[in-house]
Amino acid sequence: MFDFSIVTHWIHNLLTSLMPDDLAVFIECLAIGICILLTYAIIAIIMIFMERKVCAAFQCRLGPMRVGPWGTIQVFADVFKMLIKEIIAIRHADKFLYNLAPYLVILASIMAFSCLPFNKGMAVLDFNVGIFFLMAASSIGIVGILLAGWSSNNKYSLIGAMRSGAQMISYELSVGLSLLTMIVFTDTMQFSEIVERQADGWFIFKGHIPAFIAFVIYLIAGNAEVNRGPFDLPEAESELTAGYHTEYSGMHFGLFYVAEFVNLFIIAGVAATIFLGGWMPLHIPGLEGFNTVMDYIPGFIWFFGKAFFVVWILMWFKWTFPRLRIDQILTLEWKYLVPIGLCNLLLMVIIVVFKLHF
């Protein structure tokens, strides 16, 4: 198993041998920041391309095919178009909040993104309350969306943002409950520890029934939290034109758009890390030969493979189910997902206490 911390330690030692410690740490922070932003942009581009292709396949179409081989340049063309468009200043809008909102959304998304462990020793933020931090950081995005709706001076934006607030705060609860179920099982919140403990089997297999229920609840609630799939009624283009980002244009709209896709990837990445073993290869206890073969596949391939598989499942949801009404969404959350999540938490506690897991 390739350990990326060898590379980071080598860079750190090289820098500290050349310059004082503070400067070295500063340069490392800058480098890591640039790396995160680059990865963020690349993943956004991959996700948008994947969305268009997967959506097309579910509708029996081919998707973009004209720009570049298999339409691969299409997304770059879209991004370029977005970059050169004008950012229109809305009359009577709250200028400061209006301009701040997309950056809050993207900030929350990047902070959550940097929690994901991509490989062994390749996690930017890795400390003992990792999951807690991720939940907290990703919730800041709601503030951005509410501000966007509030400051746009548009009824549609405001209604969209209010719905979004109700929906995202409600579903945060289910995400939290399903993650809590798994924390009961792992007794740690640190992402690297969580991945290490799945060396002898992924949690979805080790925790069997409650882990699977938590996985399903997490997928549904996570999908709702990023305002996608059948739960995209903050945007609800048929009734609210575009919800909270109606008045945004150019790259400000682009930031909302990119944040939505990367948030989807973050949800998928967290699901892959906590339930499907993250960068940990598929290990079956007792089959040593099989395990060593699996170890030859590098960890980041495992991670991205699993994450994009979960993304595919979420896109499958999105392009299958019709959009829910606001009361249906809240019914699903408060009457179904939360009680089931609580029972599931209890079931997990029983299983952990009586050691009924594998």
Q: Which residues of this chain interact with another protein, rule CB under 8 A?
A: 54, 56-62, 65, 316-317, 319-321, 336
Beta bridge partners of 119: 122
- CA gap 166, 323 in Å, rounded: 16
212 versus 319: smaller Cβ distance to another protein: 319
Nearest distance from C-beta of residue 213 to another protein, angstroms: 12
Nearest distance from C-beta of residue 174 to another protein, angstroms: 15
Nearest to 38 by CA among 48, 50, 26, 30: 30
User: How many CB atoms lie under 10 A from the CB of residue 314?
Assistant: 23
Nearest distance from C-beta of residue 315 to another protein, angstroms: 10
Nearest distance from C-beta of residue 74 to another protein, angstroms: 15
- The first and second tokens of residue 213, run together, are 């229920």
290 versus 321: smaller Cβ distance to another protein: 321
Question: If you search the block for the tokens 């699901």, which residue do you land on?
Answer: 271
For 322-341, b/e burial (b = at least 16 CB within 10 A) is ebbeeeebbebbeeebbebb
Nearest distance from C-beta of residue 336 to another protein, angstroms: 6
- The first and second tokens of residue 114, run together, are 């940097």
What SS3 state is found at 117? coil
Asked if residues 78 and 48 have their Cβ atoms less than 8 Å apart, the reply is yes
DSSP class of residue 276?
A: S
Distances (CA, A) of 64 to 56, 73, 78, 309: 9, 9, 12, 21
- CA gap 161, 227 in Å, rounded: 11
Q: Please, where are the H alpha helices in 226-324?
A: 237-240, 250-274, 288-295, 299-318
What SS3 state is found at 122? strand
Dihedral over alpha carbons 27, 30, 34, 40 (to 10 degrees): 130
Nearest distance from C-beta of residue 319 to another protein, angstroms: 6
- CA gap 120, 1 in Å, rounded: 8
DSSP class of residue 334?
A: I
Length of the chain (residues):
358
65 versus 97: smaller Cβ distance to another protein: 65
Nearest distance from C-beta of residue 232 to another protein, angstroms: 17
Nearest distance from C-beta of residue 277 to another protein, angstroms: 24
Nearest distance from C-beta of residue 244 to another protein, angstroms: 28
DSSP class of residue 89?
A: P
142 versus 271: smaller Cβ distance to another protein: 271
- CA gap 236, 167 in Å, rounded: 13
